[in-house]
Homo-oligomer: A and B are copies of this chain.
Amino acid sequence: MASTREGEEKLTDITFSSEIKAELVDSMASDLRVVQAARVSTAGERANDKTELTERDKGLIKYLLRERHMSPTEHNYFTFFVKAPIFVMRELMRHRIASYNEESGRYRELKPEFYRPGNDRKLVQIGKPGHYEFIDGTQKQHAMTEDAYLHACGMAYDTYQDMLQSGIAREVARGVLPVTLFSSCYVTINARSLMNVISLRRNVPESTYPSYPQREIEFVAEDMEKAFAEKMPITHAAFVEFGRVAL
């Protein structure tokens, strides 16, 4: 949805979206690989011969996840293309056991695409640090947020454009752009580190260690979890069964 700001001189078309996503681009992942990697400790070079999962193998995966023997999950990799606002990218990149390549504000002119909370985004925070809860917010608060984002992002992007047009370098001009600006990024991560991401970046009350991530990074974690569950269903089920603990 494109928006223009009435009553203002500049009329750059800017775009708002509340869609944050992680698309699976490539993977090298299977429950079988977990079993092979685990069996090498007892079977040595015969581990490689295994080509199909037996019931006993499924039991082994459960055992590994329950007893936190996580290293056999590391041979499974996922590459995602993530589209998310800068403030989400900032949180995501704190996960150091992964590889990232992101759009650059130094090398390209950034496009006027901004994240804005959707109508179902809970806006009001109650409780105290470490135990916040979120509640809906009034219609007025939703309208206010929409306006504020429209106004601030529009103004910032116009200012950015003004500087660019005056010949000022992109890397200087981008300083005024807000952290809700969308960015794009390739992320490659192994199943063990991915479990860490979804353990910390989704709020699942029945987890052994519940986490309280910002809603916006949950979208990324949800997409990642879907890909994980699809490619490695037994491992994912065991991860869930044993409290979503990633060590």
Q: Which residue of B lies closest to A181 (CB)?
A: B179
Residues of B within 8 A of A149 (CB): 175-176
As for how many copies of this chain the complex holds, the number is 4
Report A66 CB to chain B, min CB distance, Å.
Answer: 9
Tell me, in angstroms, the Cα distance from A74 to B153 when the chains sit together. 34
A219 at the A/B interface (Cβ < 8 Å)?
A: no
Chain A, interface SS category: mixed
* Number of A residues with CB within 8 Å of any CB on chain B: 100
Whether A134 and B169, one on each chain, are in contact in the complex, defined by CB atoms closer than 8 angstroms, is yes
Whether A144 and B162, one on each chain, are in contact in the complex, defined by CB atoms closer than 8 angstroms, is yes
Residues of B within 8 A of A42 (CB): 104, 107-108, 129
A137 at the A/B interface (Cβ < 8 Å)?
A: yes
Residues of B within 8 A of A170 (CB): 125
Whether B175 and A175, one on each chain, are in contact in the complex, defined by CB atoms closer than 8 angstroms, is no
Contacts A86-B179, A155-B152; A33 near B41 (Cβ below 8 A): no
Tell me, in angstroms, the Cα distance from A41 to B172 when the chains sit together. 17
Q: Mark A161-182, 1 if CB is under 8 A from B, else 0.
A: 0110011111111111111100
Residues of B within 8 A of A67 (CB): 130, 209
Tell me, in angstroms, the Cα distance from A40 to B156 when the chains sit together. 23
Contacts A87-B174, A99-B71, A178-B178; A108 near B43 (Cβ below 8 A): yes
Residues of B within 8 A of A178 (CB): 156, 175-179
Whether B45 and A81, one on each chain, are in contact in the complex, defined by CB atoms closer than 8 angstroms, is yes
Q: Which residue of B lies closest to A129 (CB)?
A: B107
A53 at the A/B interface (Cβ < 8 Å)?
A: no
Whether A77 and B28, one on each chain, are in contact in the complex, defined by CB atoms closer than 8 angstroms, is yes
Contacts from A to B (Cβ < 8 Å): 23, 25-28, 33, 36-38, 40-45, 47-48, 63, 67-68, 71-72, 74-75, 77, 79, 81, 83, 85-87, 89-90, 93-94, 96-97, 99-108, 111, 115-117, 121, 123-125, 129-130, 134, 137, 140-141, 144-145, 148-149, 151-153, 155-156, 159, 162-163, 166-180, 183-186, 188, 190, 196, 209, 214, 245-247
